[in-house]
Amino acid sequence: MSPKDDMPDLKGRDGEGSVQVHLDPSQKIEGATVFSIYGKGGIGKSTTSSNLSAAFASMGKRVLQIGCDPKHDSTFTLTGKLQPTVIDILKDVDFHAEELRPEDFVTEGYGGVMCVEAGGPPAGTGCGGYVVGQTVKLLKQHHLLDDTDVVIFDVLGDVVCGGFAAPLQHADKAVIVTANDFDSIYAMNRIIAAVQAKSANYKVRLAGCIANRSKATDEVDRFCREVGFNRIGHMPDVDAIRRSRLKKKTLFEMDADEDILACRAEYLRLANALLTGTNEEFNPQSLPDRDIFELLGFD
């Protein structure tokens, strides 16, 4: 008897060959608009997420940002410090969630943004999807999602397994952060495939990509034209963003020099477009590895 004989038949339900557990309907996030931010590791997802959270808050929205990385550094520019992770806090109480209070795992950051760091399993063990599920469950138990307008999941690195894709089960829109280089666009191509697989069974749709820390956008735009995608924002490579990270602040708290004002304006424009823009849905078709290599590679 093959070990595969005991595997459930989930062919085509969450992507070809997937054996992912489907979302418990009781754990759906209701009422808020939910974004999942993806992109290559180190591309600036946390900077993008935190400044978008600050932009949404400045528009009067009640915002919750959930960092989904064991490094738990997604929200430190909003709070000025590294927060403990939900998974570590649960471990401290032997996973008796009823012993926890909201202030044990939620910190109010700049603009009233609620900040949560889900964390992750120890290196080489467990699944990031379990951690995301436990975090959402805890937030719902404490009714912390009841009056929330916007939820942002800041998700680590490339999508290499269903655990990293778990936030897509909750999201309305997926946003990809990229740069104008081969590796970032290659990762974006894989993320597009992951989102499209999830969209077959969940409400998530692709909102577009943001070119981050890039002087030019020609390669990003060429890829988008090829696959039927769209760049919805461009954040230039300016020193103001590096300085804000060093000062543990969002751009909205920094002294208002010319570059900072320009970056703030772009984040505000982007936040408004994500909330109130057209309902245009992108249906890009990711490229096979060899094709994207030929598109972006050089002789």
Q: What is the pLDDT of residue 250?
A: 95
Q: Is 94 a catalytic residue?
A: no
Q: What is the pLDDT of residue 11?
A: 44
Q: Is 71 a catalytic residue?
A: yes
Q: Give pTM, 2 decimals.
A: 0.88
Q: What is the pLDDT of residue 126?
A: 64
Cα–Cα nearest to 58, from 243, 251, 256, 235: 251
Set 45, 61, 198, 249: catalytic member: 45
Q: What is the pLDDT of residue 99?
A: 87
Give Cβ neighbours of residue 55 (< 8 Å, ≥ 6 apart): 252, 264, 267, 268, 270, 271
274, 268 contact by CB (below 8 A): no
Q: Is 11 a catalytic residue?
A: no
Residues of the chain with pLDDT under 50: 1-12, 17-19
Set 40, 61, 173, 198: catalytic member: 40
Token readout for 185 is 């666009």
Q: What is the pLDDT of residue 22?
A: 59
Q: Is 40 a catalytic residue?
A: yes
CB-side neighbour CA atoms (13 Å) of 238: 16
CA–CA dist 143, 149 (Å, integer): 13
E-only strand ranges, the chain: 33-39, 63-68, 107-108, 114-117, 150-155, 173-178, 205-212, 231-235
Set 14, 69, 158, 173: catalytic member: 158
114, 147 contact by CB (below 8 A): no
Set 28, 71, 203, 248: catalytic member: 71
Tell me whether strands 231-235 and 33-39 are parallel, antiparallel or unpaired: unpaired
DSSP-H helix ranges across 61-123: 76-79, 86-92, 102-105
